[in-house]
Amino acid sequence: MDFLTDLDVKGKLVFLRVDFNVPLDDKGAIRDDNRIRASLPTIQWLLERGARLVIASHLGRPKGKADPKMSLAPAAERLAELIPNKVTMAPDVVGPEVARLKAGLGEGEVLVLENVRFYQEEEKNDPGFAAQLAEGIDVFVNDAFGSSHRAHASVVGIADRVPVRGAGFLMKKEVDYLKKAVHTPVKPYVAILGGAKVSDKIEIIESLIGKADSILIGGAMAYTFLKAQGLGVGTSLVENDQLEVAMVVLDKARRNAVSFHLPQDHVLARAAVAGAETRIVEHLPFPEDMMGVDIGPKTVEAYGQVIAAAKTIFWNGPMGIFEIEEFAKGTIGVARAVAASGAVSIVGGGDSAAAVKKAGLRDKISHISTGGGASLEYIAYETLPGITALEK
């Protein structure tokens, strides 16, 4: 795979796929511009070398229809504040007006396309749409690590319709760190998985059984595993259609030399609201009207010991409903243990990254990935569709 620094971009029309999927407030203002800043090194490198730069991204889930609330215009405005170059916002993603604006771009100038997901063809990786995106483009650069687990037109379809292609700096940084964890992890390698959605992560857990030395489970995911073993988990969030798969994973873990940990104690509440009365329990079943909202202190201690011995750590997903102060202790405790471990530590996913920042531990983590889903899939499959497309 070529990287940016291998490419000649002077005077070339460059299509740069970034991840400008920034969170917006009710008024449409950007709440956090980290994702825009994360691609600045690539953008600046290209512009300083005289590229004529077309930037594309998705934002939110417009489901194939133009929706002004999910326009990339605020992102283009913010970009214009961050760089001295001329930045123009396109009225569309493809079409005659966009073609005219592309053709008129000067060296060191930027055209930000509208949200690529305003077209349903984007997520379908439609060949005609990919060809339209590629029209007139000399070089394709992918810096959207966080979108590269999706085989979409602006990530995958466009790649082999353009003469030259390569990865941006953000993509390279992500892949370099993750490669270290996947291909040559220094042992012990500990994976910590939490969050709510088991279905998203179960295949990944399965693939980690052959790789990691220890797997620590927290968050709502733990209750699906506990219920799969026939234990009563009260009103805890459970994915009932994943119980069988959870059993398969538990069996596989037992047969392999991986130590698979479920929480030893739990923080329970009657409702997932701030100020709710909580109770710490070690034994199941839970009372029928209570739900697990966090891992308990014994679990934090036990997980902390496994983490302290680790040399490589991958963490995705909070240990509880950490958005509520009273239920955040488990997640913060794990964040502290990871930070103190001295291991190569990779944290992926918006929630775990937010927890690390909230605890003021950002500088103590080796790498905070910009892509939650993408980093998980990379760990499991050792590549992503967006990376394979660049390698062709």
Instruction: Give the binding site for ligand AMP (CB under 6 A).
Output: 195-197, 219-220, 237, 292-293, 317-318, 320-321, 323, 349, 351
Closer to ligand AMP by Cβ: residue 83 or 354: 354
Q: Among 160, 148, 207, which Cα is nearest to 379's? A: 207
Q: Which residues of 72-96 are buried (b: 16+ CB within 10 A; e: fewer)?
A: bbbbbebbbeeeebebebbebbbee
Closer to ligand AMP by Cβ: residue 220 or 258: 220
Q: Is 304 a catalytic residue?
A: no
Q: Which of 197, 252, 298, 358 is catalytic?
A: 197
State the DSSP code for 235: T
Residues 6+ apart with CB under 8 A from 255: none
Q: Which of 50, 64, 304, 350 is catalytic?
A: 350
Residues 6+ apart with CB under 8 A from 64: 117, 118, 119, 120, 121, 122, 123
Q: Which tokens in the block code for residue 274?
A: 């701030």
Q: Is 230 a catalytic residue?
A: no
**C-beta of 319: minimal distance to ligand AMP in Å?**
7
Contact 166, 139 (CB under 8 A): yes
**C-beta of 15: minimal distance to ligand AMP in Å?**
30
Contact 201, 209 (CB under 8 A): no
State the DSSP code for 126: -
**C-beta of 378: minimal distance to ligand AMP in Å?**
16
> Scanning the structure block, which residue is given the tokens 């990865």?
167
**C-beta of 321: minimal distance to ligand AMP in Å?**
4
Q: Is 360 a catalytic residue?
A: no
Q: Is 357 a catalytic residue?
A: no
**C-beta of 272: minimal distance to ligand AMP in Å?**
6
Closer to ligand AMP by Cβ: residue 219 or 386: 219
Hey, what's the torsion of the CAs at 176, 179, 181, 184, to 10 degrees? Answer: -120
CB-closest chain residue to ligand AMP: 195
Closer to ligand AMP by Cβ: residue 46 or 376: 376
Closer to ligand AMP by Cβ: residue 139 or 347: 347
Residues carrying an active site annotation:
35, 197, 350, 373
